[in-house]
Amino acid sequence: MAAPAAPTLATLTLESDVPGAAVFIDRQFVGNTPLTLDKLEPGTRRLQLTATGFDSVQKSIELAAGPNAITVRIKEVSLSAKVPVVHKHAMGSCEGTLVATIDGLKYDTSNKNDAFTLPYGQAEQFAVDYLQKNLRVKQKGGKTWNFTDKNDNADALFVFHREVEAARKKLADGYTPVR
């Protein structure tokens, strides 16, 4: 008896943490999660899931001949942002990098007296003043840091601030942090 032929087409079983999310493959709507599609050509595909009230998730997937199972997490948030900055002191300044992760802010600098790691819960103020080209970070009951962009460009500070605030809002809304 001959062995069954190896599959030449792909089957995709797709689930998400938001049931009913709209699924697009290569920009074509194919249904809502949970979803199983068969008779797909193997290869690289562009997958996008959208759900009301959430950011869309886009990723490249590789479909192999035979069964493929994918779970997409829409209610996850990650953050890895950094901006080169100058910390203005009362007298002088120092340069470094302001880094934001899902856990908080960190200022990396060779001036060890100014370097810090600050969980978001300890930040009393985190505000950008676009006109003054300044980003202010104030620790609850503690120190205040005033940062300018290393290239004197408020756009980089604004984008950094916007990314951090968007991630903090998602965390407050119950998204799962991804580290």
Residue 1 has pLDDT above 80, yes or no: no
Per-residue pLDDT of 50-63, as tens digits, reads 999 888 999 999 99
Q: Is the pLDDT of residue 64 over 90?
A: yes
Confidence of residue 13 (pLDDT cuts 50, 70, 90): very high
Q: Which domains does the chain have, with CATH numbers?
A: 10-76 (2.60.40.1120), 77-172 (2.30.29.30)
Band (179; pLDDT cuts 50, 70, 90): confident
Give the global pTM: 0.75
Backbone angles phi, psi at 172, to 5 degrees: -65, -30
Q: What is the pLDDT of residues 84-114, one digit of tens each?
A: 999 988 788 999 999 999 999 999 999 888 8
Q: What is the mean pLDDT of the chain?
A: 93
How far apart, in Å, are the Cα atoms of 69 and each of 8, 56, 90?
Answer: 17, 20, 57
Which pLDDT belongs to residue 92?
Answer: 84
pLDDT at residue 125 tops 90: yes
Count of CB atoms within 10 A of residue 167's CB? 21
What is the tens place of the pLDDT at every residue in 136-160?
A: 999 999 899 999 998 888 899 999 9
Provide Rg for the chain, Cα atoms.
23
Residues in Cβ contact with 20 at an 8 Å cutoff, skipping those fewer than 6 apart: 32, 33, 51
